[in-house]
Structure 1
Amino acid sequence: MTITNKNLPTPTEKVIKNLRQNKPNPNYRPMIYICAPYTAVIMNNHEVIKQVETYCRFVYECGGIPICPQLYLPRFLNLRNYCELNTAVFIDVVLMRKCAEVWAFGKPTGDMKWEIKKAQKKSQPVRYFTESLEVTK
């Protein structure tokens, strides 16, 4: 996270602060859906997995709760099995709907574009970031 002045919040910290407004619990953290390469994680690409973990840490450090199904679901679902993959897609959409926003990291892959379209169809806010965690849109 880049901060030029320790007293000034980053744009993402401002977003989280706005999402916290009017919440009675001072410890409230909004859930943020992590939109990142899905297939590469399923294929056990360790470099991509580490990058996705970095995205989750970034959301956490900004004050959000990262929701990242691609790191969670392969632990107990066989995503190479068609039925279990369909279940995973359903779970992804359910989790996405519970989140305040969708944050997309890096150049959108086919999987990510599908998730972004799902979010936009329900008018769910989508924010875009580079792989180096800079806001792009």
Structure 2
Amino acid sequence: MRKKVFICSPFRGDMEGNARRAAAYSRMACEQGFLPIAPHILFPQFLNEGIEEERRLGIAMGMELLALCDEVWVFGDATEGMAAEIASATEQGKKIIFKETEGM
């Protein structure tokens, strides 16, 4: 069984660029033998980030996935959403690893 890692990285703002970077972080985790979980690149495929109710639903579902993960990998400066994910991971006693983003 692969260890599940939650990819915690920015999404809002430059959503297209941030989604590309999150995909690269996910690939890196996969190549290292982990199972990456990156809901912020999956859920916008069917939820509208611009509709607050749908955004909240995406965040809530992401938190459910976070609870299933073994570790949380944090990339970049923490946004408000990332801070909530980090706080939840901390409360659950998850291992949190802050990763370098230089050259990615």
- The alignment's TM-score, normalised by the length of structure 2, stands at 0.89
C-alpha offsets along residues 79-106 of structure 1, whole Å, 9 cap, x if unaligned?
2112211211110110000111110012
Following superposition of structure 1 onto structure 2, how do residues 4-19 of structure 1 map, counting pairs within 5 Å? Answer: none
**Is residue 97 from structure 1 mapped to residue 70 from structure 2 by the alignment?**
no
Deviation, structure 1 residue 123: 1.2
Secondary structure of the residue aligned to 1:39 is coil
1:70 to 40, 50, 59: 40
Code of the aligned partner of 1:31: K
Which whole-Å CA distance do the structure 1 matches of 2:83 and 2:64 have between them? 17
Query: Which residue of structure 2 lines up, in the alignment, with residue 121 of structure 1?
Result: 91
Q: Which protein, 1 or 2, shows the higher relative CO under an 8 Å CA cutoff with sep ≥ 6?
A: 2
Please tell me whether Structure 1 or Structure 2 has the larger radius of gyration of its CA atoms: 1
| Structure 1: unaligned runs, 5 residues or longer | 1-27
Contact 2:11/2:19 (CA < 8 Å) preserved in 1?
no
Q: Percent identity at matched positions? A: 27
- Distance in 2, matches of 1:107 and 1:83, equals 25
RMSD after superposition = 1.6
Determine the C-alpha separation between the residues in 1 that align with 2:53 and 2:72.
26
Count of matched residue pairs: 103
Higher strand share: 2
TM-score by length of 1: 0.69
